[in-house]
Amino acid sequence: MIDFQAVVMAAGRGSRLTELLTADCLKYQLPVANLPMIYYPLRALKNAGFTEAIVILPSSARGRLDDSLSDRVGLRIDYEFVAASAAEEDQGTLQSLRQIVTKIKKGRVNRRL
């Protein structure tokens, strides 16, 4: 049994991938070997023994999820959507974790995030 909560950060803007991204294709959806980029960290978690994961996505991804991803990977996936204001964009990872800290049930989290 794993005593940690797996969290996959996928809410990045992809600012270095602007030539590949469109309004219809967000960073986590970019195909790599015919699978969305998000598949690979999720599969690695499954291979490491995790049975569930929280995936943090940008609010713009709401309604664009591949419902079969959980079955293909073999994990229960809890999607959390975050929105960053212009003032928070530089905080990235920390700001996303602040928005979902109450969802993390396993492991130790500094609640002062």
Sign of CA dihedral 43, 48, 53, 58: negative
Q: Strand 52-58 to strand 6-9: parallel, antiparallel, or no bridges (unpaired)? A: parallel
Angstrom distances, CA of residue 15 to CA of 8, 11, 26, 101, 106 = 18, 12, 11, 25, 32
Task: Specify whether the CB–CB gap between 4 and 107 falls below 8 A.
Answer: yes
Q: What is the pLDDT of residues 40-82, one digit of tens each?
A: 999 999 999 999 999 988 887 787 777 788 898 999 999 988 8
Q: Which two tokens stand for residue 99?
A: 């928005």
Q: Has this prediction a pTM greater than 0.85? A: no
User: In this predicted structure, what is the pLDDT of residue 46?
Assistant: 95
Mind listing the pLDDT tens digit for each residue in 30-42? 778 988 888 999 9
Please, what's the b/e burial string for 59-83 (b: 16 or more CB within 10 A of its CB; e: otherwise)?
A: eebeeebeeebbeebebebbeebbe
Q: Please state the rounded mean pLDDT for residues 1-8.
A: 81
pLDDT in tens, 8-27: 887 766 555 556 555 566 77
Q: Which pLDDT score is estimated for 112?
A: 56
84-111 tens-digit pLDDT = 554 445 557 777 888 888 888 766 666 5
Give the chain's domains with CATH numbers. 6-103 (3.90.550.10)
